Structure 1
Amino acid sequence: MTVYLSRIVYNSARNSSLRCFSLPERLLPQFGFYSVKKDFCRFPRVLLAKQYTTDAIQPVLALENSSIPLKKKIMHKKADLEDLTNKEGHYLTLAYVTANSYDLKGLKEALVQQKLYEPATLQAQEVGDVVIANAVYTVGSEPREIIFFREGAVVFWNCTELEASNVLDLVRKYEVDSYPREVVEKEREVMTYSYQPNAKKCYLQESGFVLVPERDNSLEKFTFSHAMAQSARLGAWESRLEGLAAAVRQHSSLMERHGAANVDKKEVVRKLGELFSLRHQLNVESDLLDTPDFYWEQEQLERIYSSTVAYFTIARRTRVLNERLAHCVELLELLSQWAADRHHVRLEWMIIALILVEVCFELLHFFERYAHREEALSS
């Protein structure tokens, strides 16, 4: 009785499953449904199923494919220098980043010896790590001012490109880890500033700074300069990452064509060190991820700094740069692990070869002892 009931349950379950899983007969060969008895696995011709498409499924393209260009960095829209200089009542502001850091003490002494600029001070003494130089000789009614940051950036207020180039040549002697000249010129920031008669406070307007006339705007100028210097530094790091990403691509392409045998592990480790150094500068040494402490107690200056940073899209560029850094580090770590595994496999084969050699010697010794024993018995 139990066997009979179990057969009834089994047949009903099989029939229901076949009704739920119904395929047309023309699809059976594709799914590999073969049976000697056709009526054993009979499927109805009617199939109510969703239509699936593979149009949205694209093959994964390797990073090392030489036909695919590298993704360029995210750039904010920079102002045109010619358009800015033609505006009446607007003065030029230029920001350059030339090195990782400056020797401010030696630079300040050089400026004094040159007798073209004289050092100045800000109202707030807690700024620090900044040298401000005012031009001794004036051209027109608007003074010229230069702000040097220890982080390797310099901002020119109301200075021409020729004067800025001369000052950059002077600064080169006091640079630590200088950047290439083409990077310095490419990543500079250009803005203008003007005075509004009815303005009661300084603010950012389009591609220019608005200052209050007949008032000391030194702290506001410092704040604008700080934000411009941050953008220029970030641009230099983006250019550096482009070169490192190209090197990562070359290693990946080399491994694709020739395998892991031609991957130089020392070079991979060196590039990893450069990426970690860049990540440390971006996230630890710089204050791009947060507002500097100096502005916390200065509400107006903090507002100016935040608006200028937002104008240069520093937060988004920093996030994207960190993501690209993480991706490059992941690829290089994969290559390094691949090369290490191949080295381990080579060592294992060497050990196996040594064991085989030892076994061969043991076999020779065994045959020698066997031969001597036979000779002794025969004699």
Structure 2
Amino acid sequence: MQIKIEAIQIAESFNIKKFRTEFHTEAFSGSTSEVFYAITKTSSYLYVFDYGVVVFANYDPLAKDEFIKIIKNYATTLVDLNLFEEYRIETDVALHKIIVKNDYVIVPQIDPSILRIAMLNTGQSVALEYYEVLTDELITSSKHYILELEKRGKLSISKTNLLKYIGKVLNVKNSIVDNLYILDDPNLVWDHEELDLLNRQLKANFDINTRFKDLDYRLQIVEDNLTLFTDVLNVRESSRLEWIVIILILIEILIALFFHR
């Protein structure tokens, strides 16, 4: 038996509380930030995360498309980047342990807990990819200003646009910080050695921790660049104010000389 897992980044976030209230299917497990469904009628599984990711397992394509239309009603901002990750689970009754491969895992038998762990890590991988895309865009745009400094010795960006850029960077960073829990181990692995091992192996397989550290490092680079840009603009603003003061003083002197003739 083989089960296909598909994780898709659909939005920046979902309103999980409202979704759970209005989606008339009993949840297998869940919290304020995620909800997992084991649909016995179709032997399919569904995992929805508040950071905008939906993970399907053994889902019919038509049913998947229909659900995506439904979940979009609970999204804050839709993501149109075609970000998805696929994984699969295969069964081998002759096995006595779980074996994790690069793009699939082999288990003695399927159960909701194993599916949940595999779907969780697949969903985390997609979420990290989304943040990697965002940080890449920020780094690319900051490189443009760095090259301008190198070639012209000044920045052409206005203070307003710089503040918008700073706001965008902080928004991405805050979003990542808010979703730091995606790296947390689920409660069901705490007292289950086999599931804990599966979870750790999948994290290693998807490079979850390594990618997050790299993401944090790249955001730090962008923040350092922002500090530099802000300092350059502050110098520019100070110089402009100095010239304004000088001009006002000259005007005042000229007026005084004119009236004392």
TM-score (norm 2): 0.86
Q: In the TM superposition, what is the alpha-carbon distance from 1:322 to its structure 2 partner?
A: 1.4
1:293–1:340 Cα change, 3 Å: farther
Q: In the TM superposition, what is the alpha-carbon distance from 1:201 to its structure 2 partner?
A: 4.3
DSSP 3-state at the match of 2:51 = coil
| Cα deviation code 1:20-62 (max 9, x no counterpart) | xxxxxxxxxxxxxxxxxxxxxxxxxxxxxxxxxxxxxxxxxxx
1:197–1:312 Cα change, 3 Å: same
For 1:2-21, what aligned pairs fall within 5 Å after superposition?
none
Gapped runs of 5+ residues in structure 1? 1-88, 113-117, 369-379
Larger Rg: 1
For 1:189-338, what aligned pairs fall within 5 Å after superposition?
189-213=85-109, 217-254=111-148, 260=154, 262-288=156-182, 290-292=184-186, 295-338=189-232
Q: In the TM superposition, what is the alpha-carbon distance from 1:258 to its structure 2 partner?
A: 5.9
What residue in structure 2 maps to residue 119 of structure 1? 26
Greater share of helix residues, 1 or 2?
2
What residue in structure 1 maps to residue 13 of structure 2? 101
Q: In the TM superposition, what is the alpha-carbon distance from 1:362 to its structure 2 partner?
A: 3.5
Moved more, 328-337 or 197-206: 197-206
DSSP 3-state at the match of 2:95 = coil
DSSP 3-state at the match of 1:177 = coil
Q: In the TM superposition, what is the alpha-carbon distance from 1:352 to its structure 2 partner?
A: 1.1
DSSP 3-state at the match of 2:89 = strand
Q: Is the 8 A contact 1:248 1:331 kept in 2?
A: yes
DSSP 3-state at the match of 1:347 = helix
DSSP 3-state at the match of 1:226 = helix
DSSP 3-state at the match of 1:276 = helix
Identical positions, percent: 20
Q: In the TM superposition, what is the alpha-carbon distance from 1:166 to its structure 2 partner?
A: 2.9
TM-score (norm 1): 0.61
Query: How large is the RMSD of aligned CA atoms in angstroms?
Result: 2.8
Q: In the TM superposition, what is the alpha-carbon distance from 1:254 to its structure 2 partner?
A: 4.9
Q: Is the 8 A contact 1:261 1:342 kept in 2?
A: no
What residue in structure 2 maps to residue 351 of structure 1? 245
| Cα deviation code 1:3-30 (max 9, x no counterpart) | xxxxxxxxxxxxxxxxxxxxxxxxxxxx
Q: Tell me, in whole angstroms, the C-alpha distance in 2 between the residues paired with 1:310 and 1:261.
A: 42
For 1:51-130, what aligned pairs fall within 5 Å after superposition?
89-108=1-20, 111-112=23-24, 118-122=25-29, 129-130=34-35
1:104–1:201 Cα change, 3 Å: farther
Aligned residues: 261
The answer to which structure, 1 or 2, has the higher relative contact order (CA under 8 A, 6+ apart) is 2
Q: In the TM superposition, what is the alpha-carbon distance from 1:253 to its structure 2 partner?
A: 4.5
